[in-house]
Amino acid sequence: MVEEFLKALVVYPNKKTEEIRSLINIACSVAKKIERTSEDICVKAIKYVPEVGVFVAIYVPPDKRRSIKPFVAKGAEKVGSE
């Protein structure tokens, strides 16, 4: 079995999320923003969690093999700097 790295995000229901296609579009759009990519995002599943009244979208993040600059807060010291 091939293992995939998966991520999840929460979609709060509103008038725009009444159709499943809208939920998928919102999940893809938000995932692209989270992942900072323009690549297509594959949403594997969308589940409604009635206990908290939200939808959870499970997606496959884009390939992260390209080099990523680490986030350094303004005024913080970079790791390894002297």
Contact (Cβ atoms closer than 8 angstroms) between residue 7 and residue 56: no
The pLDDT assigned to 50 comes to 95
Strands 7-11 and 42-49: unpaired
Contact (Cβ atoms closer than 8 angstroms) between residue 27 and residue 57: yes
Task: Provide the token pair at 71.
Answer: 């986030």
Task: Provide the token pair at 21.
Answer: 């296609």
The pLDDT assigned to 74 comes to 58
pLDDT 10s digit of each residue in the chain, 82 long? 556 688 999 999 988 888 889 999 999 999 999 999 998 899 999 999 999 999 999 999 887 544 445 455 555 454 444 4
Instruction: Quote the number of domains for the chain.
Output: 1
The pLDDT assigned to 75 comes to 54
The pLDDT assigned to 81 comes to 46
List the domain range (segments joined by +) for residue 10: 1-82
